[in-house]
Structure 1
Amino acid sequence: MSLWRSTIFRLLMIYALVFAGSVLGLVWVNYCSSANYTATQADYNINWQFQYFAALPRNLMLEQIDARIRTTIHRPVNYYGVFAPDGQYLKGDIAVRPTVVEPNGDGVWFRPQLTSLKIERPQYMRTKATRLADGDVLVIARDVDEMTRLRDYMLGGIAWSGAIALLGGLGFGVLCSAVQLRRIKEMRRLANLIAQGNLNTRLPERGGDELAWLSQIVNHMLDEISRLMNEVKSACDGIAHDLRTPLIHIRSLLARIEPTALRDADAQRVQLAAQETDEVLKRFAAILRISEIEALHRRAEFSDTDMRALCQQIGELYAPVAAARSVELKLDLQPVLHVRADYPLMYEALVNIVDNAIKFAPEDGTVVIAVSQCAEGPRITVRDDGPGIRREEKLAVLQRFYRSERTRDTPGSGLGLSVVQAVARLHDFRLALEDANPGTCVALDCWPERRGL
């Protein structure tokens, strides 16, 4: 889970977009307001001058305009132009009457042409025109560059302030998101441990935010699940222990009966009762063994294990068993890397797998034990050509005591694959049942399983 895919970061991005839009809206409103204020003030100043010049006689007005132009030492603020009704230039530093400016109309943003190229024409000018009593047109253009620059500086300051605030908020938000993401990664790691069977693990409850509340809820659920599982496990183990003792006594009593002292029919019944008692004792022993394996957390005893040598040893052990059942046992063992595993438990699991394969293989059938090196680690497969396992039963056969309808007549307790599953979970290995067409292929991937948490 990366920072860019987290909900916290997405909410931060939405906040950043909303904030950026708000800043842009603020800049636009300020721009429009300042532009309107600049135009209003310029129009007010021009109108005041219109009233002043309109009250003067024509000759005095022209003299005043000429005097103002000549007495300007620095860059002028106002520019004047007097034109005849037909547009002919009469006086001022505006050389051409602007056609876009209507007399007695609204002011416009326009830069009129000046009489001298030496005069620096402002960038922003507000221009208005009025018709005098004698029919002449007076045009006044006002330089608003200073106000415009001030407005631009103000808007730039607002924009930069918004950008700095946005970047600072994003940086702080990313930092907070990274902190939260580290907490989530820690919770994910602990959740993986819980999923692997370490039910004593609990999520951290530090802080008073939503993650801490969620951790408290999950921890409470785990406490209840652990309590219920321990109660069920204790009850099952207690029953197995309690029933095992009288069964052992019964088996001992049956063993003491001399067959010669009984009739043939009674001797057969006693022998059958002894066999059934042995089968029940095997099932109880398997139940207790599964509980023992599931309760093991002895990873400290794991060591480097050569799976090829382990399968070679099991193949040599079961070769006579397979031959006695007219089953051909083949070995396809490639060199593989060592893995961290508990040797006795892996031996027990593979023995159960091979024993099942030989048991369900048909007469003159074949069982193949193969070891190969994958990119992640060694893979062990045991393949037979027996009746196989239907797709809907592949998960069920891993449960305790489950027996398929097609194999109910075969001796067994239905606990062999349960032992294998318990060992695989302890090692965090992946156990898979695949179709061999015909038969079944049991695959054991000897590397940590990647879980989707």
Structure 2
Amino acid sequence: MFSVHLSEIPRTISFRTALMFLALFGASFLALFGYIYWQTTGYLITEVDTALHREIDRQTALPPVLRQQEIIKHTAQDSEDRLPYTLFDAQGAPLYGALQALPPLRKYQRPEEFMWDKPNGHQRPVRFLAHRLDDGTTLLIGQDIHDIREFDELLVNALISGGVLLLLVGFIGAIALGFSARRRLDILSRSIKKIVEGDLSGRLPTRGNNDDIDRIATVVNGMLDALERLMSEVKGVCDDIAHDLRTPLTRLIAGLERAQRRNLTQGEYANAIDVAIEDAKGLMQTFRALLRISEIEGSARRSHFIPVDLNKISADAVELFEPLAEERGMTLAFTPCSRAATVSGDSQLLFDATCNLLDNAIKFSPDHSEVEVTVLADASHCAISIRDRGPGIPESEREAVFRRLYRGESSRHTPGNGLGLSMVSAVARLHEMTLKVDDAEPGCRIDIIGNAQRV
């Protein structure tokens, strides 16, 4: 397994990125070290040349006799021949000084270098300056630069060893990064494979450091949450359809079979047909509601969102349901918000969702009771809050009531198809709103909360 991972490491982005930065850092290191080397050696050689020129000028200013005495004295004192002074005649033969021959000379008054073969058999690099005197002799002032050459060699060796160490450590680091990335990708791949094989409860592992892979894994996990929810809803819908639609279909078929077997009058046949049509219309209404929810969840209308005033939406819904409330002696109390309560959304969908909540509130509230509709807003959020005086929703069912075709025990004998709150939930998800169900003591309170939009 390790060999397989090792062979795949060069294909990882982390390894290639590390190599790229290693190359950039290596080039920067080479440029910086080259600059330091150039500046240092240049400075040392310049100091040597300055000293040579200064000594030539000083010796030139001396009288010939004094110059001779000083060169002889200097040669005797310079036992290591670090600063060879020599005076040559017009033919290049040494008169007095440390050197036995005039080195190759291209031009006077210009610093040059040569390798000095000393009497003890050693060779030393010497940088010198030659000056022709008025009497035709040549004065040569030199300086041993062996230490400078050793320093240059040390710098070059440091550059080479440092560069090799840099490349080695960088390459090992790149392999480590590539191996770590490959191992993490293998873990993600295995997790994805399990999910593809049917384990929709699985999620991609994260480290919590919010790096690139963590952010991608978080987004994918959110997508998997949505997929699991949708698959659960599909399964729940299939189960609920089989359970809840079986009864009206059985009743419809049984009524038609009875009408077929019995010798009915024309009026009885017409009545049986009317009952069958009503049952079929109820089924069609259920399927239309299911299709409507699917259309909303498809987010096809999100591109048409505009600023929507929740005060106006709520006022229109209250006005629409006031006659129904009056028939049962109920009161619809509407409290608008004193400030702007604007969200980005589809006004028709938000109106339909509010109407569904109001319809449920009136349907499950006793006669002569009160339903309150309140619009709330602050700097960041807006909400429509609807409170009734009905039996309420048990805490154990507050999530289930938003599933398609789900009906609680308290609503089994109430007309409806169990899709109203499912449609409200779909609208809330489309608008990235939050649905909150609370106990109103007595009754139920449902808030649909969205992000406020500045107009």
TM-score (ref. length: structure 1): 0.49
